Structure 1
Amino acid sequence: MRTRASIVAVTGALAVAGLVAPTAVAVDGPGRDSAPRFAEKFDTSGKSGATARSAKAAAPVISSVVVNGGKPIVVGVSNKPVRATFKVTSPTGIGFSDAELWHGTTYTETTPFIPTDGIKNCTGTTATCTADFEIMPFLDLTNARAGKWNLAVGVIDGEFLEETAQVKAGSLTILRESRLTTNATPEPVKKNKILTVTGALRIANWSNQTFGGYGNHTVHLEYMKKGAKKYTRVKTLKTDKAGNVKTTIKATADGYWRYVYPGVSPVIAPKTSVADFVDVR
């Protein structure tokens, strides 16, 4: 059995005496090595929690976990906030709660992680708790870490006797941001003359914190005639090694041209460029 109060007291005493060294977290790439880990606060061995200390005691129940409204989040090279919510039911109240985003298939001490900035509204016997995070690309992300992240949630009851820890309580897909442009020339253009449509695809490179050009990515050229309500796919092209694309087409009527990038699921976000209107005379 796990006595919460005893663990906290003993650990605190040893830390004051200088007998407990901080846990070293070695990860492949950047990381928040100095932040306290979820595993240092909760039992993540997969067990359901400590045994009840009395007939009235019961482990907290975690449910209704939602991260970022259930949607993927697109991240470039700037910090991005994200919020998770979860419901807790605990007969003796809530003594402590925490959450952590982590990347990988198995939770270990070397798993890349993002700690919460704090838990809010997590009091009483029934609560809908809020956990806020700040994704910092230069610390948290590499290109290999795009895709699914897991959310760990832990709660200790009001008497500090029972805990519930779920290392895969929820999940979040983190996508690399993509940027795309379209430029059709000349403008205006004579009817039935050749129109050149260029574009540039740039994708967030978390490994060096820049937006870079990538070759061999598929983009679609779309056109919508003036007065119409729907775009039509005209061509499918591949970017060159610099991430650029270029094609020619006959101009027949006034209209809007744009490139569309479908992205790469589940790691790179799709993107539709701003349309370029061409006046055909």
Structure 2
Amino acid sequence: MRIRATAAAVLGALALSALAVPTAQAAGTTAPNVTFSKMKVNAGKAITVGATSTVKVKVTYTVTHPSTVSLSGIATGPLIYRGTSAKSPDNEFISDDPGTCTKVDSTTANCSATIAVTAADLYNSEAGTWKEGGLAVNSSGGMKWQSDLGTIPVRRAAKLTADATPEPVKKGKTLTVTGKLTRADWQKGTYVGFAGQSVKLQFRKAGTSTYTTLKTITSSSTGALKTTVTAGSDGYYRYSFAGTSTTSSVSAAGDYVDVQ
């Protein structure tokens, strides 16, 4: 569930709904006496979101509590957010359902949950580092927000193509390799050219498994790529992009060229 709210009361109400807690928080209620730790979102790997996709990521975390406190009346869930705190974020995704927890001992439980990150609910400017946090809600509506449990990159998905011509080609003749680098535009719901990026042209000789870099070129204002090489032997040509802090890495499928 994604939340955009500036008022803690609105955020709390939405969070209660997301965690399926039946009662609203009342004035004077006591926050659950629990602490989140060891949170790992998507196994620590960047979350890459396509132009129109919804990406569901697994989250694991540990909850500790006094031995006198029972978790049976407390719903817990992970979240990722942008802003200064989980309680008052600029933007936030919370697990749609409470975490499933397994008791370790009288004061510790290991939990897991799923967060769905939806492209339609993202601005392009939000690509980059998000913070991790947790929310616990008890049966009386008391809430505990915990911030700064880690960070996770959320990146715009990239696409890359490569086409080598002519095919076939005589040895020693010139090959032209064209392609295009694009990335997800979450606000438009499509892929757009990614300009001014360094992209490697790579070659894999037929019968081998490793690509080697031939040269590095820069994508045009529309994301277009074009360069030439001298044909030497049968093999596959592709472009490869290393990615940025806001955009995923990607390699094009190799285009086979028969050299005669």
TM-score range, shorter chain: 0.7 to 0.9
Aligned match for 1:130, one of 109, 112, 127: 112
- Aligned partners of 1:156 and 1:164 also within 8 Å: yes
RMSD across aligned positions (CA): 3.0
Task: Tell me how far apart the structure 2 counterparts of residues 262 and 138 of structure 1 sit (CA, whole Å).
Answer: 25
Task: Tell me how far apart the structure 2 counterparts of residues 217 and 183 of structure 1 sit (CA, whole Å).
Answer: 18
TM-score of the pair, normalised by structure 2: 0.80
1:109 is matched with: 88
- Aligned partners of 1:93 and 1:157 also within 8 Å: no
% of aligned pairs identical? 32
Is residue 206 of structure 2 the alignment partner of residue 226 of structure 1?
A: yes
Q: Describe how 1:18-167 pairs up with structure 2 within 5 A.
A: 25=5, 36-37=14-15, 59-77=33-51, 78-90=53-65, 91=67, 92-94=69-71, 95-96=73-74, 97-107=76-86, 109=88, 111-122=90-101, 125=106, 126-139=108-121, 141-155=122-136, 165-167=145-147
Task: Tell me how far apart the structure 2 counterparts of residues 173 and 167 of structure 1 sit (CA, whole Å).
Answer: 16
2:159 is matched with: 179
Unaligned runs of 5+ in 1: 1-22, 42-49, 52-57
Secondary structure in 1 matching 2:194: coil
Describe the shift of the 1:87–1:220 C-alpha distance in structure 2 as closer, same or farther (beyond 3 A): same
Deviation readout 1:194-237 (Å, 9 max, x if unpaired): 11111111100112221001221110101122233422211111
TM-score of the pair, normalised by structure 1: 0.74
Q: Taking CA–CA contacts closer than 8 Å with sequence separation of 6 or more, which of the two structures ends up with the larger relative contact order?
A: 2
Describe the shift of the 1:80–1:24 C-alpha distance in structure 2 as closer, same or farther (beyond 3 A): closer
The amino acid across from 1:186 in the alignment is: P
- Aligned partners of 1:222 and 1:260 also within 8 Å: yes
Aligned match for 2:239, one of 238, 241, 259: 259
1:201 is matched with: 181
Q: CA deviation at 1:108?
A: 5.9
Task: Tell me how far apart the structure 2 counterparts of residues 68 and 24 of structure 1 sit (CA, whole Å).
Answer: 22
Describe the shift of the 1:186–1:25 C-alpha distance in structure 2 as closer, same or farther (beyond 3 A): same
Describe the shift of the 1:123–1:102 C-alpha distance in structure 2 as closer, same or farther (beyond 3 A): same
Describe the shift of the 1:202–1:249 C-alpha distance in structure 2 as closer, same or farther (beyond 3 A): same
Greater alpha carbon shift after TM alignment, 67-76 vs 206-215 = 206-215
- Aligned partners of 1:59 and 1:163 also within 8 Å: no
Task: Tell me how far apart the structure 2 counterparts of residues 183 and 161 of structure 1 sit (CA, whole Å).
Answer: 59
Task: Tell me how far apart the structure 1 counterparts of residues 62 and 258 of structure 2 sit (CA, whole Å).
Answer: 56
Task: Tell me how far apart the structure 2 counterparts of residues 112 and 82 of structure 1 sit (CA, whole Å).
Answer: 17
Task: Tell me how far apart the structure 1 counterparts of residues 213 and 84 of structure 2 sit (CA, whole Å).
Answer: 39
The amino acid across from 2:43 in the alignment is: G
The amino acid across from 1:74 in the alignment is: T
1:11 is matched with: none
- Number of aligned residue pairs: give it: 236
Unaligned runs of 5+ in 2: 20-29
Structure with the larger strand share? 2
Describe the shift of the 1:34–1:108 C-alpha distance in structure 2 as closer, same or farther (beyond 3 A): closer
Secondary structure in 1 matching 2:14: coil
Task: Tell me how far apart the structure 2 counterparts of residues 110 and 224 of structure 1 sit (CA, whole Å).
Answer: 47
The amino acid across from 2:174 in the alignment is: I
1:250 is matched with: 230
Task: Tell me how far apart the structure 1 counterparts of residues 120 and 114 of structure 2 sit (CA, whole Å).
Answer: 19
- Aligned partners of 2:40 and 2:59 also within 8 Å: yes
